[in-house]
Structure 1
Amino acid sequence: MPRFALKIEYDGGPFAGWQAQAELPSVQGAVERALAALDPGFRAGARIAAAGRTDAGVHATGQVAHADLERDWDPFRLSEALNWHLKPAPVAILAAARVDDDFHARFSAQGRRYLFRLLSRRAPATHDRGRVWQVVHPLNVQAMRDGAAHLVGRHDFTTFRSTMCQAASPVKTLDCIAIEEIAVPHGAEYRFHLSARSFLHNQVRSIVGTLERVGAGAWAPDRVRKALEARDRAACGPVCPPQGLYLVGADYPADPFSGAASSRG
């Protein structure tokens, strides 16, 4: 059975998360239903695997999944057919690519990249409603960068993971946290770029929620270090809401979508 990698974009607002769940809408379920319209195996209950299982309300601009199909599709025609059958769900196949049988969207990934968008202004968000976390007070970007610096590297992130996290170990290596400040009408948007081989459940939202407290002046930057060293969930700042979070990419030894056959746009 030929294996295909899919690069997927979605608005997580209407979904209970990526993972298929009984009686609840999911991104995985939407893609599998579209595949079922094209492939006998998915009509019989085949499943896809993804690079990351995003939570309810979390978006993606570069989720990667793989599917084993009975038909050896032209990748461009596969993406076009899937997008037709995904309508009107806010899910799009950006590219499809034929990959080797040993490619696995989750286990072959060497890194994941997330973006978190935080809007600081008093006027409500309009065009980005549901796509940013908004606060009404100003934030100090340099203080947030100083606090974030304590988290880069290999650490025990017990403080910054959900109590529901099922990872075998809280030790992770955070490769990068970069924070952009972008002027917007009557305010500023802060974009947090985080990359690591893998993340703990709620790790990004816990980190950003804590750094927001630093930016607001409620925490000193060094308190982030103390919270990390406490290895205690109670030492974490607030967990920010999901609507500002985006899975923007997964990294592989070779980019499965680099070939011209994966896309014509």
Structure 2
Amino acid sequence: MRCALILSYDGTHFLGSQTQKSSNNTILGNLQKVLSTLSIDSKIIASGRTDKGVHATGQVCHIDLPEFWTDIKKLKKVLNEMLPSSIKVKNIKKVEAKFHARYSAKKRVYRYIIKESKSNPFEANYVTFLDSVDFEAIQKNIKLFIGEHNFSNFKKTGSDTKSNIRVIFSASAYKHKKYIVLNFEANGFLRSQIRLMVGALLKLDASEIISQLNCEKNFKIRPAPCNGLYLSKIKY
């Protein structure tokens, strides 16, 4: 029986989401370890990877359960009891055998959170603190990313991808108290693409962003910190 697992996690102390040969300290590494103790040896497939320090409120994975695991409500309860408190299984549901967490996904939604204030220890791992932000410029310039673009200048060096073309369906910014929330929805993202887009919004003007989007010039801006980024939702 193929099942989809919806996960939320605090990525602060993990080395990203994907399993690694050198360390089990990843989101899927911890999940795979717990599943193995329950005699579930199916490989976990996630909708996509999140880097070290990045969080999720709606990561989706799929696994194939052995025949003796028919009670998925019980499985959810057991997993949440055994997993670290920073990883939570929000839901488990039966899906069609052809469902694939990564390849069946139509849209991916990410959120980036900035707080316009001095840093404090209680939120340091979850938002990016800035003394001052030109919100009006961000709200205007974020729309430049909407549409189909070649994001060659908005990916981490060394990324192994067949194509750098991605379609941004929506990109917006709004204020909530002292927080600035940036939302991006696309058919997919390159590695560190969102953090580099946010970095561009914080450092470049509109003409410079357009120039970098058109692959005319690469300003080599630094990616925004990982702690403000959240994988919010996967749409199928």
Q: TM-score, normalised by structure 1?
A: 0.84
Residue of 215, 220, 223 corresponding to 2:208: 223
- Contact (CA 8 Å) 1:6, 1:65: kept in 2 or not? yes
Who is 2:180 aligned against? 190
In the alignment, structure 1 segments of 5+ residues that lack a partner are 214-218, 253-265
Distance in 2 between the 1:48 and 1:220 partners? 42
Runs of 4+ in 1 over 3 A off after TM superposition: none
Aligned residues: 234
Change in 2 beyond 3 A, CA 1:103/1:231: farther
- Alignment RMSD: 1.4
Q: In the alignment, does 2:130 pair up with 1:131?
A: no
Corresponding residue SS for 2:58: strand
Distance 2:14 2:122 in 1: 20
**Helix, strand or coil: the match of 1:54?**
coil
Alpha-carbon distance in structure 1 between the residues aligned to 2:154 and 2:216: 8
Shift of 1:165: 1.6
Matched, 1:12 2:11: yes
Decide which of 224, 229, 235 is 1:240's aligned counterpart.
224
With over 3 angstroms needed to count, the CA separation of the structure-2 counterparts of 1:200 and 1:149, relative to structure 1, is: same
The within-5 A match list for 1:44-55 is 46-55=42-51
SS across alignment from 2:82: helix
Report the CA distance between 1:237 and its aligned residue: 2.5
Q: Is the 8 A contact 1:157 1:231 kept in 2?
A: no
Shift of 1:147: 1.5
Q: Which residue of 1 aligns with 2:135?
A: 141
Distance in 2 between residues matched to 1:163 and 1:18, nearest whole Å = 19
Over the matched positions of the two proteins, sequence identity in percent amounts to 29
Structure 1 segment 80-159 matched on structure 2, within 5 A: 80-86=77-83, 88-121=84-117, 123-136=118-131, 138-159=132-153
Q: Which residue of 1 aligns with 2:159?
A: 165
Distance 1:209 1:129 in 2: 18
After superposition, give the CA deviation of every residue in 1:178-227 in whole Å (9 maximum; x if it has no partner).
Answer: 101122xxxx21111101011111110000011112xxxxx322221122
Shift of 1:231: 5.1
Identify the residue that residue 74 of structure 2 maps to in structure 1. 77
Give structure 2 stretches of 5+ with no counterpart. Answer: none
Q: Indicate the residue corresponding to 1:259 in structure 2.
A: none
Q: Kindly indicate whether the alpha-carbon contact (under 8 Å) linking 1:116 and 1:246 is maintained by their aligned counterparts in 2.
A: yes
Contact residue 139 and residue 174 of structure 2 kept, 8 A: no
